[in-house]
Amino acid sequence: MVSPVTWPQSSFAALSRRDLATLVPELLLCGQLIDRSGMAHLIVKFGREGMAQVAIEEWQASSPWYTRRMQKALRYEGDTVVTIFKGLQLDIGAPPQFMDFRYRVDDPMHGEFWLDHCGALMDVEPLGDEYVTSMCHDIEDPTFDATALATNPHAQVRPIHRPPRRPADRHPHCAWTVTIDPSHVPPVMEPHTERIGRTAAAAVELSPIDVDGDGAHDYSGPLLADVRFADFSQSALVRIAEEVCLQHHLLALGFLVAVRKRVDEAAAVEITRKQLTGIAGVSAQRIRDALGLPGDLEGLASVLALHPLLTPKQYVDSEIRFDGARLELWIGRNGLVDTDGGWPTLVDGEHLGPLQALVRGVNPHFTVRVVSEDPAGLLVAVDTAAEPAPECVEVAITKVSTGAGFEFEDRGIPLPLYVV
Q: How many CB atoms lie within 10 A of CB 413?
A: 10
β 366-374/155-161 pair status: unpaired
Half-sphere exposure of 91 (CA within 13 A, CB side): 26
Q: How far apart are CA 103 and CA 30, in angstroms?
A: 23
Per-residue pLDDT at 45 = 96
Q: Which residues pair with residue 382 across a beta bridge? A: 368
β 366-374/318-322 pair status: unpaired
The model's pTM is: 0.96
Q: How far apart are CA 169 and CA 205, in angstroms?
A: 45
Strand spans (E) along 269-340: 318-322, 327-332
Residues in CB range of 252: below 8 A, 6 or more apart? 34, 272, 275, 276, 342, 343
* Residue of 378, 368, 382 lying closest to 334 (CA atoms): 378
Per-residue pLDDT at 245 = 98
Q: How far apart are CA 342 and CA 361, in angstroms?
A: 22
Between the CA of residue 3 and those of 8, 243, 251, 378, what are the distances in Å?
Answer: 15, 33, 38, 19
Per-residue pLDDT at 188 = 85
- Let me know: does 89 contact 227? Beta carbons within 8 Å: yes
The helix (H) or strand (E) run that includes residue 368 is: strand 366-374
Per-residue pLDDT at 100 = 97
Tens of pLDDT, residue by residue, the chain (420 residues): 334 555 454 589 999 999 999 999 999 999 999 999 999 999 999 999 999 999 999 999 999 999 999 999 999 999 999 999 999 999 999 999 999 999 999 999 999 999 999 999 999 999 999 999 999 999 999 999 888 888 999 999 999 999 999 999 999 999 999 999 999 998 889 999 999 999 999 999 999 999 988 999 999 999 999 999 999 999 999 999 999 999 999 999 999 999 999 999 999 999 999 999 999 999 999 999 999 999 999 999 999 999 999 999 999 999 999 999 999 999 999 999 999 999 999 999 999 999 999 999 999 999 999 999 999 999 999 999 999 999 999 999 999 999 999 999 999 999 999 776
Q: How far apart are CA 35 and CA 30, in angstroms?
A: 9
Residues in CB range of 187: below 8 A, 6 or more apart? 142, 145, 146, 149, 153
Per-residue pLDDT at 178 = 97
DSSP-assigned letter for residue 296: S
Residues in CB range of 78: below 8 A, 6 or more apart? 71, 151
Per-residue pLDDT at 6 = 53
